[in-house]
């Protein structure tokens, strides 16, 4: 479905955001307990802590999604008003992402000091902690997906939306740990394009907000299902 594609793409854009991408080597170094030089020189990197870290932040985001969908269902009797408000919020977030407006509190990033003893579950707890720390910084993107989740008709759809968002963020994160040397080269070369990619994501979210307000998002989803029948396998 179109919403799932948007959610997955939003996860990728969150990974490429200025407050996540440049800090990835530090995150991976901290999670794995290895220095950056050791990660670059290692041929076989232990991916388990990195995967557990992504599970940690995924748990938080999926809970956010479930809560948003539940709240949307509570307000379902005012479904038209909810749809319009949801669309307007996404449009405001998208204008901030594009750079046409500046909402100061959305530029804030909460740094969390995690003094968690290292064991099998600590990467999950650290991932959950960092999810809360990232939320203000990636708020416009994540918030747009949460608002989209609030318009879903059942809890499962909301959970699936945030699951796709989390996968979109987790896949490049894990690949970065596996291919650290190549990631450092990519990150250095990509810095000049971060704003461009972020603005493209903002434009996509702007279109999504307009489609929600005009009640055309579902119609677009049906059109894509007719044009690409294999998408029915995704929900």
Instruction: Per residue of the chain (235 residues), give pLDDT as tens.
Output: 678 888 998 888 888 876 677 777 777 777 777 666 766 666 667 788 889 999 999 999 999 889 888 887 766 555 677 778 878 888 888 888 788 888 775 555 554 454 544 566 788 888 888 787 666 667 778 888 888 888 787 888 889 999 999 999 999 888 887 777 677 677 666 666 767 777 887 888 888 888 878 877 666 655 555 655 544 554 5
Number of domains in the chain: 1
Output the CA torsion sign for 59, 168, 157, 109. positive
Phi-psi region of 17 (alpha: psi -120 to 50; beta: other; left: phi over 0): beta
Q: What is the C-alpha end-to-end distance of the chain, expressed in Å?
A: 7
For residue 187, what are the domain limits? 2-234
Does this model's pTM top 0.75? no
Q: Which of 66, 53, 28 is CA-nearest to residue 163?
A: 66
Distance CA 196, CA 203 (A): 11
């Amino acid at each position: 479905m179109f919403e799932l594609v948007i959610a997955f793409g939003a996860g990728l854009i969150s990974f490429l955001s200025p407050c996540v991408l440049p800090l990835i080597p530090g995150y991976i170094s901290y999670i794995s307990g290895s220095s950056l030089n050791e990660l670059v020189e290692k041929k076989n990197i232990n991916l388990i802590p990195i995967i557990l870290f992504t599970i940690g932040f995924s748990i938080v985001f999926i809970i956010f999604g479930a809560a948003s969908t539940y709240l949307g269902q509570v307000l379902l009797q005012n479904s038209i008003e909810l749809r319009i408000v949801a669309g307007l919020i996404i449009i405001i977030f998208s204008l901030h992402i594009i750079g046409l407006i500046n909402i100061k509190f959305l530029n804030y990033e909460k740094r969390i000091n995690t003094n968690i003893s290292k064991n099998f579950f600590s990467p999950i707890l650290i991932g959950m902690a960092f999810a809360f720390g990232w939320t203000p910084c990636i708020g416009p993107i994540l918030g747009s997906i949460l608002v989209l989740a609030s318009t879903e008709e059942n809890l499962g759809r909301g959970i699936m939306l945030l699951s796709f968002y989390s996968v979109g963020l987790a896949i490049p994160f894990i690949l970065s740990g596996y291919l650290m040397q190549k990631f450092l080269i990519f990150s250095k070369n990509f810095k000049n394009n971060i704003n461009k990619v972020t603005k493209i994501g903002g434009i996509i979210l702007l279109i999504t907000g307009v489609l929600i307000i005009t009640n055309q998002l579902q119609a677009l989803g049906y059109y894509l299902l007719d044009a690409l029948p294999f998408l029915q396998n995704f929900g």
